[in-house]
Every structure is written in structure tokens, then in C-alpha cells.
Amino acid sequence: MKPIEPSLVCKDGATVSVQASQYHYSTPRNDRGPYSHVEAGFPSVIPPDSWSEYAENWHSLTTRQLAKDILGDINMAWYSFKYRKFKWNFSTKHWLRSALLRLRGLKPTDTIYPWLPIELVDEFIEVHGGKKSS
């Protein structure tokens, strides 16, 4: 049996659990790979629009979670400006989407994304400055 992988950590601090094995929603569904689709879950920041169709479900947002999400967005913006990786179009769209989701009481950081194409995980990593070195 393949062990559970630790959460993937990006350079700006964003995290997401990415798993693939015979017991996860991945393709192929075995312990060897290579994988074209993985199970991602519980990202620390709202993921890109491209993930929305894969979300298992979105949960209601509490006031405490709202504050945590806003702080996460501020940290992401600070990283983007600090390291000159700010992408105006993506960032603007992301923050507007985050605000709209919060107003509707939805929380896409509290769910899993089964059979998520590996390219979308790569997109998440790139948007958040790359994978943090161990």
C-alpha cells in the first residue's frame, strides 16, 4: 500500500493535498502511476476557475473561515508583488471570484477534487510561485 503524501506546499505558502493510489480518485487507479489524474483536496486558498467542475461539493463559510481566507488572499497578493510574479489578469479574476464565492457563502477550500487532471495541479503550482523546496 502506498503511503499518504504530505501536502504540496508552494513558495507563496499555498497548500493542497495531492494523492494518487489504488485507494484514491486517480487515473490509473494503482500504486505505480504515472498518473494523468489525481485526487486533490482542501487547498488553503481558493483554486483556479478550471478546478470548479471537479469539486465534489462546496461548504458554507463561517466568519472565522472568511477571515482566514481574506488573510490568505492578502498573503498571496503580497507574494505576487514582492517577487514580481503578479499576473494582473489572473489575480484580478481570482480575487473577484473569491469575493463572489464568499458573498454566496461557498467555500471551495473545504472539499476534494476527484480525478483532477495533473495539468491543473501544475497550473496551481505555477500560479503560486512554484513548489517550495524541502
What's the confidence (pLDDT) of residue 95? 62
Alpha-carbon gap, residue 3 to 36, rounded angstroms: 19
The pLDDT score that the predictor gives to residue 5 is: 92
pLDDT (mean) for 1-22: 93
Residue 33 contacts by C-beta under 8 Å, 6 or more apart in sequence?
A: 20
Q: What are phi and psi of 59, to 5 degrees?
A: -105, 165
pLDDT of res. 46:
84
The residue ranges of every structural domain in the chain are 8-127
How far is the C-alpha of 86 from the C-alpha of 91, rounded, in Å?
7
Please, are residues 18 and 40 in contact by the beta-carbon 8 Å criterion? yes
pLDDT tens digits for 55-111? 887 655 566 766 776 777 677 667 666 666 555 545 556 666 666 666 666 678 888
Q: For the residues 8-12, what does the mean pLDDT come to?
A: 93
